Each structure stands twice: as C-alpha cells, then as structure tokens.
Chains A and B, each alone.
Chain A
Amino acid sequence: MLVTVNGEPRELPPAATVCSVVELLAADGGREREAAHRGVAVALEGEVVPRDSWSSTRLRDGARVEVLAAIQGGSA
C-alpha cells in the first residue's frame, strides 16, 4: 500500500504500523532501532499517535503520516 510519510510517498507492506514507519526512517539514517524512538513524535491524519500506541496503530492505504524530531530552535 502507498502511504505518505513526511510528504514523500512510500510503499509499505499491508500490515505496516506507525512503529514500522518510525523504524524505517531510522534505518534510512543507519540508526539503531533502540535510538529510533527517542525524541520522536508522530501525527497521523492530523492527530497525535502516543508512543505507546505506535505498534498497535495500523496504517491504511493513502494514510498521511508525519514523523517529527527535535531540532535546534526557539526564536527570541
């Protein structure tokens, strides 16, 4: 199925969850799986998916997922 992750289309297996998307992005960057969850937040269709629901939240075809992480910032 096709899912939009951070604005980019990605082909994912039918049983893909939010957790698998987070770990897919970590693998893109060559990061350890354990480090993948730290400081990361996920929005699905404009709603927060709390981290304890990542592995139980399945994605539907056409879903829109935003995976966010900390950057330097904070105006002033």
Chain B
Amino acid sequence: MTNVMPIRAVEAPSADPLVIAGRAFQSRLLLGTGGFSSHEVLQEALAASAAEVCTVALRRLDPSARGSVLDVLQDASVQILPNTAGCYTARDAVLTAKLARDAFATDWVKLEVIGDDRTLLPDATELLAAAEELVQDGFVVLPYTSDDPILARRLEDVGCAAVMPLGSPIGSGMGIRNPYNLAIMIERAGVPVVLDAGVGTASDAALAMELGCDAVLCASAISRAQDPVAMSHAIRLAVLAGRLARHGGRIPRRRYAQASTPDEGRPEL
C-alpha cells in the first residue's frame, strides 16, 4: 500500500459543499463499500477517499461473521447510505428500504432496481414506481438510474433528492459511454446529479465532474484496483480536479490551431 500524501493547495473550498436534501458535505466522492477484500482495506481506502457517505447492503445475518462493516463506518463517522442492491421489483426494493431504515435508523436510501443479472441495468418502470412509493413514505431517495435524461426528470418529478446515473454498467470500468446524455441531464436537473457506475480509473471521475456532475460514487474502481488505497486517493484528487476544471471553464474544441503568442511586434529577421 502506498502512503497517502498530504493534500493542501487542491483541497476543495469549504464554501463549495455538496448539498443533498438539505444536508451539506465537503466531499464530492461517495464510496461504495462493495468488493473490498477486508474491513482493514476498506478502512484505509475510506480514509484516503475522504468520503463522508458510504453505501452498505442488507443480507441474511451470518452468525459466523467477525466484525461488521458498520463498525468501520461508524469509527470513520461517515453517513451510512443503505442500498437495495439485488432487488428486481419495486416491491422488493421498497421492503428492503424499509428494513434498512429500521436497521440503520436512516431514511436515506440508494434505490437500485435492476432488470437482469448480466447487465445490472436499471429497470426503469420498477425504479420509478419504487421511488414514488418511498418518497411518499418519507424516504430521501437517491435512485441509481440509466443515463436517460427523461427518466431522470421523471425521478426528480416524483420527489427524488438526487439522481444517480450510470456512466456504464456497474463494475464494468467502461467510464462514461454517453457524455452527451449526461450533459443534457445535468443541464436540466434541479437536484444533484451523482455519477454512480462505470468509473474505471481517476480520469473517468474527473470527466464526470468536468461535465458538471455534482459528485461521483465509486466502489469497484477502488475496491478492485490493484492498490485500493492508492486508487482511492487518486479518485479523490480527480473529483477535486474535475470540479475545479468545471468552474475554470474549458476552452472550446476547434479544428485548427489558435496561436497563444501575438503576431504583432514580430521582428523581421
């Protein structure tokens, strides 16, 4: 494992918090806890990420399990974001969200309703139905959605606190396959847009932020990296860099060169 270098000049300005459902966060990187080889690696990667929000999943209690992911997250004082991973129907997702609310005493939920186990792509109709029901039940709903600007708008219309589009399928590491759709979604969204799947390495996270995403949620890119702590640190910096670049404003792309040195005053040699 590499040591985490100190970060000074590039720290996010504290006047630029991420605000979801009225709650402010300094970090724009959310960490998915899936795929880490041990609680120790998760703990180190979490520290390197500076994330303030972490997802957890609910599964049948394993009496032989030693230690809990909850201990790691509570020691780090991060907010727990339960997810509904593995749900295929609105009914299962709603029930899972309610179980998570009882288990973790939070009404926040990362809503996932997937269509099949090969693509893990969202099932749009089940997702929208579950989102609507959970919002009406008082949940702060953060839906994992496809990169469809219309579906994102529908999710916002039913009261979701953010939308979390994929860049590409979960765990695929294929980055952002449709930046134009994402840009349209961001332009029109009235709630935070959090890139939620597909990041393979730091540059993908930077691109998401340059496109105008409000935050990035990463799991596999960090947990399955050869050195998860180093990658966590890299993605943290990429999110900061992308945010700063978005504010900086990129120059337009053009086909021909544009000299940066003036012609005027050029000597006749």
Where the two chains meet, the residues of A that have a C-beta atom closer than 8 Å to any C-beta of B are 6-7, 25-26, 28-29, 31, 38-43, 46-48, 50-51, 66-76
Contacts and interface: CB of A to CB of B under 8 A. Distances in A.
Contact of B70 (A39, A48, A51, A66): A39
Given A70-B70, A73-B85, A43 B59 contact: no
A50 B98 CA distance: 9
Contacts of B179: none
Contacts of A73: 32-34, 55-57, 59, 83, 85
A68 B61 contact: yes
A6 B61 contact: yes
Contacts of A70: 56-58, 68-70, 80, 82, 103-104
Given A73-B59, A74-B219, A76-B217, 5 more contacts: A48-B98, A50-B102, A69-B58, A70-B58, A73-B34
Interface of B: 32-36, 39, 42, 54-65, 68-70, 80-83, 85, 95, 98-100, 102-104, 110, 112, 120, 144, 170-171, 196-197, 199, 217-221
23 contacts: A6-B61, A25-B63, A39-B104, A41-B100, A41-B102, A48-B99, A51-B102, A66-B60, A67-B60, A68-B58, A68-B61, A69-B60, A69-B65, A69-B103, A72-B42, A73-B34, A75-B55, A75-B120, A75-B219, A76-B32, A76-B55, A76-B217, A76-B220
Interface on chain B toward A: helix, strand, loop, or mixed SS? Answer: mixed
B112 A75 contact: yes
Contact of A76 (B59, B60, B219): B219
B33 A72 contact: yes
A27 B83 CA distance: 27
A73 B110 CA distance: 11
Contacts of B34: 72-76
Given A29-B63, A29-B65, A41-B100, A75 B58 contact: no
Contacts of A39: 68, 70, 103-104
Among A38, A43, A71, the most chain B Cβ lie within 10 Å of the Cβ of A71
Contact of B85 (A43, A47, A74): A74
B61 A48 contact: no
Nearest to A66: B60
A76 B102 contact: no
B81 A71 contact: no
A28 to B, nearest CB: 4
Contacts of A74: 32-34, 54-57, 81, 83, 85, 110, 217, 219
Nearest to A50: B102
B57 A71 contact: yes
Contact of A75 (B39, B60, B197): B197
Contacts of A42: 99, 102
A72 B69 contact: yes
A29 B62 CA distance: 8
Given A68-B99, A68-B103, A70-B58, A75 B63 contact: no
Contact of B57 (A31, A43, A48, A72): A72
Contacts of A40: 61, 103
Among B59, B65, B81, the most chain A Cβ lie within 10 Å of the Cβ of B59
